[in-house]
Amino acid sequence: MEHVDMISRPRRLRQSGVLRKMVRETRVDKSSLIYPAFVAEGISEKVEIPSMAGQYRHTLDSILYLAEDMLKAGVDKFLLFGIPEEKDEKGSQAYCENGIVQAAMRTLKEHFPELYLIGDVCMCEYTSHGHCGILKGNDVDNDKTLKYLAKTALSQVEAGADMVAPSDMMDGRVLAIRQLLDENGYTNTPIMSYAVKYASSFYGPFREAAGSAPSFGDRKTYQMDYHNIREGIKEALTDVDEGADIIMVKPAMAYGDVISAVKEATCLPVAAYSVSGEYSMVKCAAAAGCVDEAGIICEMAVSSFRAGTDIYATYFAKEIAQYIDEGRIG
């Protein structure tokens, strides 16, 4: 048998599962997982989202069973989205004291105080036109929208949110939210900013789930052009200066280069949102027998962490927690 005289053999560290796990460069832990959950008015029981098999619009009752199930799996962070029964031009249910998200937060905190609640701060689910702010003609009025976003964030914190996450992409919204929270005594409430959010085709299933598709036009005047990275760095650094505590990149799967660039440019924790289109692509491909679902879920998550993600928002949070327990990922 031929023997090659080699001193360095990279395969040495791949000889067993124990060894491979010991020398891993990328680690995944349950504490980094956030589960995005939908809660809706006008339904008497949870309703499956057609384009997102296994995901539901929840009632105030069914979301308690969801929370119990997630906590048992080791997932203790929810990112909450609301679907109101009534919508108007100013998205008033977004900042209503008794809005659906606010009611869900109070209910969840009452039953599961250990659950960490993050409020998505945006208006697209609440406006009759489906855009992320107050309209001026056929465009969103950036500066007029800021006070409504800040009011939304404050109402969520008053209802029990531990953190708020503005996803609207209006210029200056982090500062507006920070100032209003501070003025009302919530100086220790963190802001996780969707700082680097692209105008992406990966959001399609979410818009069905949340009933948030714009009634006209698109969101390209406020969400980012996916051709750009340096613009994303500018957005991230602007939000750092305005008081953001965590910077998010959205979507995740096709944006590893952006995650890495943001991680390099800032000193804040970096979150990535594995969005609805990523979830549905996996579920559809798995249902067709084209891919190993568990393997794809693990690989997608690790690729995001490998790129620099510290916090991972994903509809597969429960599955990932299970795979960590099984030793398939971690």
Active site residue 197: yes
Per the residue annotation, which of 90, 250, 263, 318 is the catalytic one? 250
Give the torsion sign (CA, 151, 198, 231, 136): negative
For residues 324 and 294, give the distance between their C-alpha atoms in angstroms, rounded to a whole number: 11
Closest CA to 94 of 117, 119, 118, 77: 119
Per-residue b/e over 219-232, b at no fewer than 16 CB within 10 Å?
A: beebbbebeebeeb
The Cβ-side half-sphere exposure at 286, using a 13 Å CA radius, reads 15
Active site residue 250: yes
Closest CA to 80 of 106, 52, 47: 106
Closest CA to 70 of 279, 317, 329: 317
Backbone angles phi, psi at 293, to 5 degrees: -60, -50
Give the pair of three-digit tokens for residue 168: 């609207």
Per the residue annotation, which of 77, 90, 197, 283 is the catalytic one? 197
- Cβ-Cβ contacts under 8 Å for 194 (sequence gap 6 or more): 165, 166, 167, 168, 169, 248, 250, 273
For residues 38 and 19, give the distance between their C-alpha atoms in angstroms, rounded to a whole number: 41
For residues 272 and 198, give the distance between their C-alpha atoms in angstroms, rounded to a whole number: 12
Query: Which residues are known to be catalytic?
Result: 197, 250
